[in-house]
Amino acid sequence: MKKTKIAFFDAKDYDKQSFMDSDIKGEFDVTYLETRLTSDTVKLAEGADAVCIFVNDDINKDVIDELVKMGVKLIALRCAGYNNVDIEYAYGRIHIVRVPAYSPYAVAEHAMALLLTSIRRIHKAYIRTRDFNFSLSGMTGFDLHGKTVGVIGTGKIGRIFIDICRGFGMNVIANDKFPAKDSGIEYVSLDELWQRSDIISLHCPLTDENFHMINAKSMEKMKKGVVIINTSRGGLIDSEALVEGIKARKIGAACLDVYEEESDVFFHDYSNHIVNDDTLARLISMPNVIVTSHQAFLTKEALTNIADTTYDNIRSFFADDKCPNEVCYKCDKAGKCPQAHEKKCF
């Protein structure tokens, strides 16, 4: 039986290990490539049946045209988000599948870890005690109990984060274009969420509609000292406005696992180089900002689920002529795809 050929872009050691450990790896012929998939590197996919990509690969019109020309039939995202793929242009040309839920616990727990680290100054305490400095000066935090957290996006990750917050005795309000029915969640408008929240956590996909939803105007409506958490997509926050909000003491702290210009920085070691992104450098230099490099998903359980689901998606697409995890332009429009995932979207 002919093996399905996969060109695996932006491959990291942890990616390779999880995919090579999968029980069904033998059905596939995988070429691991360290480079991201872009217009400059797309030729490396020649001869492949499918490409496997991650959040920072750039699947624009030129890349799609080149993939189609080379006979590539499938773009397999090993992540949930697909804002880096021009799905409208891809419709009718090449199919796209994703991993809708690999470990919502991993991301939700990381969001809470960032919050606790920030408000209880755990990162600073670690550095101090390593130098045998046991002073408590400047280490005062605040209780989460009784605080109001505004959660934007109540999918699986958002709802798990809400459960964690409730465990801390926090008051929860939320905003979602499609509220979860019978969830007991108090849904409010964005304006009300801005005004009432002591902490705001983002758990929604990035769309044209919510690009830079946290900006100078929305920050004006927030409480002084609000803490902002983003483990979703960097483009949800206007980074320049965030810097100014922190400088003005309007934003009390920022916990960021994502950054809107992360594609040229995250997942790489620049410890011996000068980072040219001045905005990111300013954010990292601020004492009330914590930045992690898009690692919220990075648990053993999540990596195993990503590998297994990605392989299942590819196998289902080529062997069964369908895939429940396919996404297309019409799927994205509030579920208006006529196929309802019973067969390929087109």
Q: pLDDT, tens digit, for every residue of 262-276?
A: 988 998 889 998 888
Pairing of strands 28-32, 171-175: unpaired
Q: Nearest-5° angle of CA 105, CA 155, CA 229?
A: 65
Q: Smallest Cα–Cα separation from 50: which of 26, 34, 28?
A: 28
109, 260, 262, 326: the catalytic one is 262
Tell me what pLDDT residue 333 has. 62
Q: How many angstroms separate the Cα of 149 from the Cα of each of 179, 249, 250?
A: 17, 19, 17
Confirm whether 260 is a catalytic residue: no
Of 3.40.50.720, 1.10.10.10, 1.20.1630.10, 3.40.605.10, the CATH number of 4-102+299-332 is 3.40.50.720
95, 233, 260, 326: the catalytic one is 233
**Residue ranges of the chain assigned to CATH 3.40.50.720:** 4-102+299-332, 104-291
- Residue in this structure with the two tokens 């995202």, named with its chain if needed: 77
Confirm whether 261 is a catalytic residue: no
Confirm whether 315 is a catalytic residue: no
CATH fold of 104-291, please?
Rossmann fold (3.40.50)
Low-confidence residues of the chain: pLDDT under 50? none
Write the pLDDT tens digit of every residue in 202-247: 999 999 999 999 999 999 999 999 999 999 999 999 999 999 999 9
